[in-house]
Structure 1
Amino acid sequence: MEEHLMKIGEIAAFFNVSVKAVRIYEKKGIIRPARIDKQTGYRYYTADQVQQLNALIELKGLGFSLNEIREIMQGKGMDSRRLAECLLQKKMRWKESISAAENKISELDSIIQRLSGSRDTAEMSEMTEEERAWYLVKMVCVEDTAAQSAISEAIWL
């Protein structure tokens, strides 16, 4: 009894990815079709390969690169301990990204607070380029503006 095969377009549609994406996964050596029709070039996949694509999409959604996914899915030197290490490393990178985003949010809060406390209500479009540049440095730059001012003056002398 022959196993049911799915065309590339069918599995792409099932997972809501493009056919081009599935072909990229093939070129990267992550998933290979069970059969390619020599006359039409159609690619056919088994149920097991559909499961591989499902795992690939989940790992991609977790932020793994295609190279990392290939390494995981090929299983060379991979056991549950090594997989857990890969997942922990990705978790740490996500935590670092969250921390960086929280720092940016804090910086934005500081800028908003400076803007709302500023007495300067001039329209930026009415300012000269130089006035606008200094205004933005004063309001937007979180670092010490006095040091920037001294450097800028030294450069333009």
Structure 2
Amino acid sequence: MHAPFQTTSADARALWHMGALLRLKATGEDTAGQFSLTEHTCRQGTASPLHRHTREDEAFLVLEGELRIYIDGRHYHAQAGSLTFAPRGLPHAYRATSPTCRFLALITPGGFEQWFAETGEPALSPNLPPAPSGPVDTTRLISAAARYGVEVLGPSPIVDDATTHADPR
């Protein structure tokens, strides 16, 4: 049994990662490996590469703004209040499509959130970082992702004007 805990905005660890502000709300260490919860604040155009987790499921809960999410050939338009689930093993990516976007990422089991810590930097303020001035070091990101059982498959398949839809089921 692990001890109960609470994280507030004041004590969540803040990172700047690929142009976004991340707050580690709960880590695998906090939850005895059960899950991690990260809060992401990003500007329009912020995107993850297309990737596949071999160990984790991932759920995106949009708090403010809009995301487009691609999962295994399907496109989802995720507005505030929507939850989108990406099961482990399926290729997925996201892109912020509103001027700013804030969402939670629930990752089960916990541990992958350490990739953000390893490849990001401590936030110097509780705000978005300056816009990236050049390309990210993809070799470093891909190498670090592999250590966490994540395969980077390529750039995001989502373009800013992509037509998205709700799950057709």
TM range (shorter): under 0.3
Query: TM-score normalized by structure 2?
Result: 0.24
Comparing both structures, which one devotes a greater share of its residues to strand?
2
Larger gyration radius, structure 1 or structure 2 = 1
Q: Which has the higher contact order (CA 8 A, sep 6+)?
A: 2
Query: TM-score normalized by structure 1?
Result: 0.26
